[in-house]
Amino acid sequence: MAFRRVLCAVLGAAVSASVVAGQRGTPDAAQQERLRRLYIKREVQLPMRDGTRLFTAIYAPRDTTRRVPVLLMRTPYGIAPYGADAYPAQLGPFPALDEEGWIFVYQDVRGRYMSDGYYAFMTPHKGPNRAPGQVDESSDTYDTIEWVLKNLAHHNGRVGTWGNSAPGFMVAAGMIDAHPAHALAYPSAPMIDWWLGDDRHMNGLFKLSQTYNFLKNFDQPRDGPVTQYAPGPNPGTTDGYAWHLGIGAFSNYGPGPLKNRVAFWDSIIAHPDYDAFWQSRAIWKHAKNIKPTVLLVGGWYDVEDPYGMLKLNAVMQRESAGTKRMFVVGPWSHGGWNRADFATFGAFSMGSATGQFFRDSIGMPTFRCVLKDDCRGSTPFGGALMFETGGNRWHRVASWPPPNVERRSLYLRENGRAAFEPPTARAGADQYVSDPAKPVPYTMGVTFGFNAQYPTEDQRFASRRPDVLVYRSEVLTKDVTVAGPVSALLHVASTGTDADFVVKLVDQYPDDAPPEVAGGPRLDGYERLVRPGVARARWRRGYERSVPLVAGQEDTVRVPLDDVFHTFRAGHRIVVQVQSTWYPAVDRNPQRFVGNVYRATNADFRVETMTVFRGAGTASRVELLVLP
């Protein structure tokens, strides 16, 4: 391969999403005392240009003999602990930053916790020509930086912004039309588009388990500034699969367990298609001519925001080519690269402590170089640093996807075969019965939340079901490395008028594969999930409007699976699974067309038969980018 191999690596234990999304842990007395010795804390209400006041905590170093950078994090998750003498467990995204003695600024975004105003999920961007008094996250970031520079002493005139997940969205929004002093933006697993991908949807399909679990707590109403929101309803069970089935149709949630108290749930119901409501919240559309240096980071195993990093990078490569930037993707779950070692993930070893490598070799050197001109040991910016799963190697590439990949199609063939050679028979098809009352689970684990380990789970629990089609390649005689976006083109028919199609790309291990992790399972025959994707047939003509299927008529559905960088090793097989339910990762399709699918009732659900065609004229296939 024509790449410079940088380092072998691996993913560590899963990190709590609440921690990496913006909260800084529960400090003990020793941690508080350590930070209290180093920093003076003050809490202020910063006025924005429309008069709204945003609650802000400032941690300034007690050593005032140096001029130092400012690190700003804006979050909807709260900047606890509140109180001028209450200190967190850590300042900044990396533990080592605590010792730098910089100025750390934390802010509750408008409408959340102790800040005034109204909180708009994925705040629509107004642009540089906004009318007087119009505000968004870009203007709030600008106004905050302006206040900090005018009112804080001993700064060096450079500000870095950082945040993971929703705070990552704040960083992405804030680096657009940026303040001149905004030198570095670190959007970590940023939310970029809540309909095409990330937390709330996957290609428009509602991410049921994850969204319910999040919004039932996060979107509880408040009467004014609060340091803690009232908890949402307690499901009283750990079996999310059974609990969600018991609720029934999507339309039952609002008046049922949510008690009509979660406003954004109602917004989702009102906007099933990719309409102006969602498009106005797609911050990637504004990522042009970005001025700050950008360190964009994400994880292959992120179950919350896997889409945002890829979309933002693609747009910036095209629309902001002059920006000094680097794109880094490792074998990590949601935001874990900021704190955990990630030497393993699930049953698999990655070869080294990849999280520590990122912090020591990329993260800290970048912050020091950009914000204080200390560039010793820093990596030259430009292009991407990407981890290859399966092969456990880092690659430095000029762009993503790599420029020398070849397009190849893996065809779904007769007798459950998958092959790179197209079918020769004129006709051929496979069928399965899809019953929404008995949906295929997305995980073999029993959990009410979202199983962070599912991205590499053994898929044999699904491949043995009669409502899942399975296609296997011959045993590979040489490595096959897939690098870039994956999608499936399915020629299908249904006896109903709507349908979902889930496609999973799977790496099947040899029958004699030993464990990779001490105490872990044997990997003999293990069917390792590489990347799933899902599409709803109603959007096969475009995401802006819903179009029913014609029952019994052949049609075409494209299923995006997002990007991978994975090597299927010699001795393994490439496996493709096709099914029509994936529960409760995404909501169930009634399989009968309803104008607004979220208003379907229990009576609308139907058992239907799905047909996947695989003849020469209707060759269903998975389209890959493969390294030569």
Give the single-character DSSP code of 359.
I
Question: Cα–Cα distances in Å, from 476 out to 124, 471, 494, 508?
Answer: 48, 14, 34, 10
Could you tell me the pLDDT band of residue 3, with boundaries at 50, 70 and 90? very low
Task: Tell me the backbone φ, ψ of residue 145, rounded to 5 degrees.
Answer: -60, -40
Domain locations in the chain as residue ranges: 4-193+281-397, 406-626
Tell me which residue of 102, 283, 93, 99 sits closest to 197, measured CA to CA: 283
Judged by DSSP in three states, 505 sits in strand
pLDDT digits (tens, 9 = 90+) for 182-197: 999 999 999 999 999 9
Could you tell me the pLDDT band of residue 315, with boundaries at 50, 70 and 90? very high
Per-residue pLDDT, averaged over 6-22, amounts to: 33
Question: Cα–Cα distances in Å, from 117 out to 57, 140, 143, 348, 533?
Answer: 18, 12, 15, 46, 38
Per-residue pLDDT, averaged over 582-600, amounts to: 97
Share of the chain above pLDDT 70, in %: 96
Could you tell me the pLDDT band of residue 29, with boundaries at 50, 70 and 90? confident
Per-residue pLDDT, averaged over 214-220, amounts to: 95
Amino acid identity of residue 447, one-letter, is T
Mean pLDDT of the chain: 94
Q: Which residue has the tokens 């083109």?
A: 489
Per-residue pLDDT, averaged over 48-58, amounts to: 97
Q: Where are the beta strands (DSSP E) in 94-240?
A: 103-108, 155-164, 182-188, 201-202, 205-206
Tell me which residue of 574, 14, 522, 503 sits closest to 301, measured CA to CA: 14
Give the single-character DSSP code of 10.
B
Per-residue pLDDT, averaged over 298-318, amounts to: 97
CA dist., res. 562 & res. 575, Å (int)? 17
Q: Which residue has the tokens 């937390």?
A: 199
Give the single-character DSSP code of 244.
H
**Residues written for the chain:** 628
- pLDDT at res. 15: 34
pLDDT digits (tens, 9 = 90+) for 114-164: 999 999 999 999 988 888 889 999 999 999 999 999 999 999 999 999 999
Does 406-626 match 4-193+281-397 at the fold level? Answer: no
- pLDDT at res. 489: 98
Could you tell me the pLDDT band of residue 224, with boundaries at 50, 70 and 90? very high
CA dist., res. 166 & res. 164, Å (int)? 6
- Supply the pTM of this predicted model: 0.94
- pLDDT at res. 379: 82
- pLDDT at res. 25: 62
Amino acid identity of residue 148, one-letter, is V
Tell me which residue of 498, 463, 496, 503 sits closest to 607, measured CA to CA: 496
Judged by DSSP in three states, 208 sits in helix
Per-residue pLDDT, averaged over 224-247, amounts to: 96
Fold of 406-626: Jelly Rolls (2.60.120)
Domain 4-193+281-397 has what CATH class? alpha beta
Could you tell me the pLDDT band of residue 443, with boundaries at 50, 70 and 90? very high
List 409's β-bridge partners, or say none. 623
Per-residue pLDDT, averaged over 571-597, amounts to: 98
Question: Vertex 588, ends 583 and 590: CA angle to 5°?
Answer: 155
pLDDT digits (tens, 9 = 90+) for 508-558: 999 999 999 999 999 999 999 999 999 999 999 999 999 999 999 999 999
